[in-house]
């Protein structure tokens, strides 16, 4: 009797294992496909938004004037030599700004779960 039960149980166990494995693989594949489609949609939406902003900004007279003024100011500053003190002040300002921005993003990430990565790009 035992010789009959053991092979039957082993074959039932094997078929159950293989069926479960196939089911888990199929479910995982479907989930990954869904995640991929969602991410693709997010990326397409992001680029559409950037494209729309670029078009709006390129047509805005205020933005065009500001860019031209910025270009002129940049060319004026390009030839100026900075002292080491001024260079250190500027470097310290931007390091502090980055740190402050990152801290703000990190505190927001704990409060906002829908778009945590959007804040700190």
Percent of the chain having pLDDT more than 70? 81
How large is the average pLDDT for residues 70-82?
A: 82
Angle, alpha carbons 104-35-26 (nearest 5°): 145
How large is the average pLDDT for residues 71-96?
A: 84
User: Average pLDDT over the chain, rounded to whole?
Assistant: 81
pTM score, whole prediction: 0.44
* CA separation, residue 114 to residues 56, 105, 109, 117 (Å): 27, 13, 9, 9
Task: Provide the token pair at 55.
Answer: 């078009």
Angle, alpha carbons 14-20-24 (nearest 5°): 145
**Nearest in space to 106 (alpha carbons), one of 94, 116, 91:** 116
Q: Is the pLDDT of residue 121 over 60?
A: no
More confident site: 110 or 69: 69
Domain definitions of the chain by residue range? 82-121
Can you give the pLDDT at residue 14?
86
Can you give the pLDDT at residue 43?
94
């Amino acid at each position: 009797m035992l010789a009959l039960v053991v092979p039957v149980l082993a074959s039932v166990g094997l078929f159950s294992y293989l069926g479960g494995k196939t089911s888990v693989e199929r479910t995982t594949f479907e989930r990954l496909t869904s995640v991929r489609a969602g991410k693709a949609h997010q990326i397409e939406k992001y680029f559409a938004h950037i494209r729309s902003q670029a078009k709006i900004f390129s047509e805005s007279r205020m933005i065009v004037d500001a860019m031209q003024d910025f270009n002129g100011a940049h060319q004026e500053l390009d030839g100026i030599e900075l002292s080491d003190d001024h260079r250190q002040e500027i470097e310290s300002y931007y390091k502090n700004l980055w740190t402050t921005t990152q801290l703000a993003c990190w505190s927001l990430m704990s409060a906002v779960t829908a778009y945590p990565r959007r804040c700190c790009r």
